Structure 1
Amino acid sequence: MSTPQLVTETLSFFQTIRCAGLAPGAESDMLLYQWGVYNWGHGEHFELDITRQFIAEGRVGDDALSQLRVTAYFQPTEDLRRIKAGNRWCEGVDQVEQLRRFVQASEAYKAVSQVAPQRVVAEWSPV
């Protein structure tokens, strides 16, 4: 999967697939775009990630949270290391086009949009 495909598919999924069993309110189903060079104990990588965060109905605190993450991993070049890590939230379907424009204009996206990721991982887990 290419970076443009990752962005297109994850944003489309958020726009078209609504989830049941979530707490009331827009904040119970949001997107997070994040990027940067990280080492989570498995070697250093540049990551471009879109995470969908859910808050389950009837639960409290961290027990209520789960995330569906789609992450593209890249070899961290010097150019990628110079990009400051960051993130941006999208709080609802009505903000998806704003997020799409932000992602496509971001330095991180531009740096990897024409580069094949080493791997792409999709995972769902509690927080």
Structure 2
Amino acid sequence: MTPLNLLYQDEHLVAVHKPSGLLVHRSALARGETEFLLQRLRDQIGKRVYPVHRLDRPTSGVMVFAISSTVAGLLSDAFSERQVEKRYLAVVRGKAPEKNVWTTRCGKRMARDPRRKCPPCPR
């Protein structure tokens, strides 16, 4: 198995490149899957790791993991409270529209101001 691309590591954090198509961790939606980013990273660095945010399976990008549950809680709170700035880059094929409306997975329109929270999705 090809080693994961570690982008940063210290005594508290590990940042790794998540390839598209790879699930971050086991879930009820992952029946039949045998490979997960969390397990591969844990095996590669020999330490337990805790995800502090998420990326969908088809999305590639930087994933941050904490090496302790305490740091994971602090970082998860920072992500939830929008204290972390995230940037997204989309690659398109063909001609992209000059203007687009971005929606959440449940179809609600996303806020134009990145400091505003997305409207809650119906459960």
- For normalisation by structure 2, the TM-score amounts to 0.26
Bigger-Rg structure (1/2)? 2
- For normalisation by structure 1, the TM-score amounts to 0.26
